[in-house]
């Protein structure tokens, strides 16, 4: 019986993880859950799955009464989440917290020396080298949960990076890949949140619409698999049945296909090296029609940002990620237009001279300090776009 801690349990990744765990009660036991601020949903999950330890990031007026009449232990805040990770000492920690706020949790999970399933790409983008070195130091095992990197991870089993000629990241294209760029100035927040394939949180939905999500995934793939960014391509695949592909030096290509359901990669991460029942819909090849298209870099300049960021080296990917997070947040607040997102992110390359991109990180606090400085710079540039 393996114990599992699910961070971000009320989000899409967390819910899917709990569904997979429910299929394998004889092999896994969830011992802890965390959420940002949806305490009611968190408490309901704890009762449903008989979990006795939960963490809420932001307070709720209903907590006190529930805590008094329950045997559930409640941790609070980011410090509480770190404490829960240490206290639980779970065999597997699932990090389903979106954005850079998942960094502290990811690092604390790595320090347990156990298996860490990472669904959020931002920590690896911000400080991938630091986290991989920490994983080596603590003998922790990192397995990606997002469908594209899980696919690559699976395709690379039995091979080395020296065998790889090219990694091909598949991209659904989001809601606007086939729209004319002239229509972009009229895109609303609700339009951008309406992803045609995946049900996701707000931040990643906006990233998917701008294809910035794919740009960050290029950085993540380069870091995780030790492959030069010039060996990573992106292809638009609207059906998102093929999650990603690896072309080897002998000309052969391995791909990973499944219905677009995160439970496939979650079950793989939980069971690795064995495979588990995931509960996803099975494919019928006689009914499939698969299409692939080259992305339009003029419409989506974000695709070029990753390789440019990696070529600059050092901590520049962190700066790029910070500018993106500020831009997305302002758009969600309807303080900037959709096209302004692209413009604001591009200013990250102007800000590099004001920030130290070559500092070597020794602690998470140092990483968060540079992130704070980067976001401060982004907000200065944002003043010319906000209204």
Q: What is the pLDDT of residues 149-199, one digit of tens each?
A: 999 999 999 999 999 999 999 999 999 999 999 999 999 999 999 888 877
Q: pLDDT tens string for the chain (387 positions)?
A: 999 999 999 999 999 999 999 999 999 999 999 999 999 999 999 999 999 999 998 865 455 556 555 789 999 998 999 999 999 999 999 999 876 678 999 999 999 999 999 998 999 999 999 999 999 999 999 999 999 999 999 999 999 999 999 999 999 999 999 999 999 999 999 999 988 887 788 998 999 999 999 999 999 999 999 999 999 999 999 999 999 999 999 999 999 999 999 999 999 999 999 999 999 999 999 999 999 999 999 999 999 999 999 999 999 999 999 999 999 999 999 999 999 999 999 999 999 888 988 889 999 999 999 999 999 999 999 998 765
Closest by CA to 81, choosing from 2, 29, 8, 138, is: 8
Q: For residues 189 and 306, state if they share a domain.
A: yes
Helical H segments across the chain, by residue range: 12-22, 39-48, 63-68, 77-88, 102-110, 122-138, 147-155, 189-193, 202-210, 212-225, 263-271, 302-312, 316-332, 338-346, 348-351, 364-382
Looking at the domain assignment, is residue 345 inside a domain? yes
Tens digits of residue pLDDT in 28-48? 999 999 999 999 999 999 999
Q: For residues 205 and 237, state if they share a domain.
A: yes
Looking at the domain assignment, is residue 266 inside a domain? no
Looking at the domain assignment, is residue 124 inside a domain? yes
Give CB contacts under 8 A, 24+ apart, made by 351-355.
351/319, 351/323, 351/377, 351/378, 351/381, 352/312, 352/316, 352/319, 355/315, 355/319
CATH number (domain holding residue 183) = 1.10.1740.10
CATH number (domain holding residue 41) = 3.40.50.720
Looking at the domain assignment, is residue 53 inside a domain? yes
Q: CB of 39 within 8 A of CB of 17?
A: no
Q: Which of 144, 179, 195 is the last residue of a domain?
A: 144
Q: For residues 175 and 123, state if they share a domain.
A: no
Q: For residues 77 and 130, state if they share a domain.
A: yes
Q: For residues 214 and 342, state if they share a domain.
A: yes
Residue 356, Cα to own-chain centre: how many angstroms?
A: 25
Looking at the domain assignment, is residue 387 inside a domain? no
Q: For residues 186 and 126, state if they share a domain.
A: no
The domain tally of the chain equals 2
Looking at the domain assignment, is residue 190 inside a domain? yes
Q: For residues 300 and 176, state if they share a domain.
A: yes
Looking at the domain assignment, is residue 275 inside a domain? no
Q: For residues 233 and 135, state if they share a domain.
A: no
Q: For residues 201 and 240, state if they share a domain.
A: yes
Q: For residues 309 and 185, state if they share a domain.
A: yes
Looking at the domain assignment, is residue 360 inside a domain? yes
Q: Which domain holds residue 135?
A: 2-144
Q: For residues 131 and 157, state if they share a domain.
A: no
Q: Which of 90, 122, 144 is the last residue of a domain?
A: 144
Q: CB of 170 within 8 A of CB of 258?
A: no
Alpha-carbon distance values, 71 to 46, 52, 90, 314 (Å): 11, 7, 20, 47
Q: For residues 253 and 377, state if they share a domain.
A: yes
Alpha-carbon distance values, 234 to 38, 325, 345 (Å): 35, 22, 20
Determine the Cα–Cα distance for residues 340 and 335; give it in Å rounded to an integer: 10
Structure tokens at 345: 């992110």
Q: Which of 92, 110, 144 is the last residue of a domain?
A: 144
């Amino acid at each position: 019986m393996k114990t599992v801690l699910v961070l971000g349990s009320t989000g899409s990744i967390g819910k899917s993880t709990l569904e997979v765990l429910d299929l394998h009660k004889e092999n896994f036991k969830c011992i802890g859950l965390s959420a940002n601020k949806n305490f009611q949903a968190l408490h309901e999950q704890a009762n449903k799955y008989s979990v006795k330890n939960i963490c809420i990031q932001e307070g709720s007026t209903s907590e006190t009464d529930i805590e008094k009449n329950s045997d559930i232990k409640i941790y609070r805040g980011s410090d509480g989440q770190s404490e829960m990770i240490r206290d639980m000492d779970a065999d597997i920690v699932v990090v389903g917290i979106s954005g850079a706020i998942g960094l502290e949790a990811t690092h604390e999970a790595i320090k347990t020396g156990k298996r860490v399933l990472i669904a959020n790409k931002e920590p690896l983008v911000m400080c991938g080298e630091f986290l991989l070195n920490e994983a080596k130091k603590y003998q922790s095992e990192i397995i990606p949960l997002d469908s594209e990197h899980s696919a690559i991870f699976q395709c690379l089993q039995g091979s080395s990076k020296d065998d790889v000629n090219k990694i091909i990241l598949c991209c659904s294209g989001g809601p606007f890949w086939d729209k004319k760029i002239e229509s972009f100035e009229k895109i609303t927040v609700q339009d951008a949140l309406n992803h045609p394939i995946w049900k996701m949180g707000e931040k990643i939905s906006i990233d998917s619409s701008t294809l910035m999500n794919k740009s960050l995934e290029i950085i993540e793939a380069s870091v995780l698999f030790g492959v030069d960014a010039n060996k990573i391509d992106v292809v638009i695949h609207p059906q998102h049945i093929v999650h990603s592909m690896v072309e080897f030096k002998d000309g052969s290509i391995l791909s990973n296909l499944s219905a677009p359901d995160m439970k496939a990669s979650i079950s793989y991460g939980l069971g690795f090296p064995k495979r588990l029942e995931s509960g996803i819909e099975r494919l019928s090849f006689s009914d499939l029609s698969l299409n692939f298209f080259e992305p339009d870099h003029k419409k989506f300049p974000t695709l070029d940002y990753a390789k440019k960021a990696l070529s600059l080296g050092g901590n520049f990917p962190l700066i790029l990620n910070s500018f993106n997070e500020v831009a997305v947040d302002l758009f969600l607040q309807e303080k900037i237009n959709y096209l302004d997102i692209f413009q604001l992110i591009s200013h990250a390359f102007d800000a590099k001279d004001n920030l130290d991109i070559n500092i070597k990180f020794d602690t998470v606090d140092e990483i968060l300090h540079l992130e704070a400085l980067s976001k401060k710079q982004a907000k200065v540039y944002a003043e010319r776009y906000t209204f």
